[in-house]
């Protein structure tokens, strides 16, 4: 007797939009129930959910906007090869960028710069 081979059928994942629609309908039902009980309770419930949503979004932005630490290796070119950077500072204008500065022995008083990192627009 031959063993039947199982056909690999891709499993369908539920849509994120469908889940969001379900959450919106449930939230609408809760708000409707609060307003049915008392108008003040409905207003307070809407205000509390707005404050909670604002607090969560502000917390998420503050954590994600931190500049990542500079990598292990530092950039170099033929002008500054073999030297260690004098300073490494995050760019104030471009989030995620680092400014490496080098002092060149051939040109005293001058600074050689390298910009590295991903530029995120936001």
Higher per-residue pLDDT: 2 or 56: 56
Query: Are 32 and 48 contained in the same domain?
Result: yes
- The helix/strand/coil state of 112 is strand
Query: Are 76 and 118 contained in the same domain?
Result: yes
**Mean pLDDT throughout 61-73?**
59
Query: Are 47 and 84 contained in the same domain?
Result: no
Does residue 43 register a pLDDT over 50?
yes
User: What's this model's pTM, rounded to 2 decimal places?
Assistant: 0.40
* Counted domains in the chain: 2
Beta bridge partners of residue 102, listed in sequence order: 112
Q: Per-residue confidence at 38, pLDDT binned at 50, 70, 90?
A: very high
Looking at residue 108, its pLDDT comes to: 78
Beta bridge partners of residue 103, listed in sequence order: 111
What does the pLDDT look like over 68-93, one tens digit per residue? 565 566 666 767 777 777 788 887 77
How far apart are alpha carbons 104 and 115 in whole angstroms? 17
């Amino acid at each position: 007797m031959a063993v039947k081979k199982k056909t690999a059928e891709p499993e369908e994942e539920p849509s994120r939009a469908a889940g969001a629609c379900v959450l919106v309908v449930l939230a609408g039902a809760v708000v409707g129930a609060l307003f049915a009980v008392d108008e003040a309770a409905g207003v307070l419930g809407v205000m509390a959910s707005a404050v909670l949503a604002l607090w969560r979004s502000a917390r998420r932005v503050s954590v994600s906007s931190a500049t990542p630490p500079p990598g292990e290796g530092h950039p170099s070119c033929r002008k500054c090869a073999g030297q260690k950077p004098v300073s490494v500072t995050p760019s104030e204008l471009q989030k995620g960028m680092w400014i490496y500065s080098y002092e060149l022995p051939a040109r005293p008083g001058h600074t050689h710069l390298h910009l590295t990192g991903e530029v995120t627009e936001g």
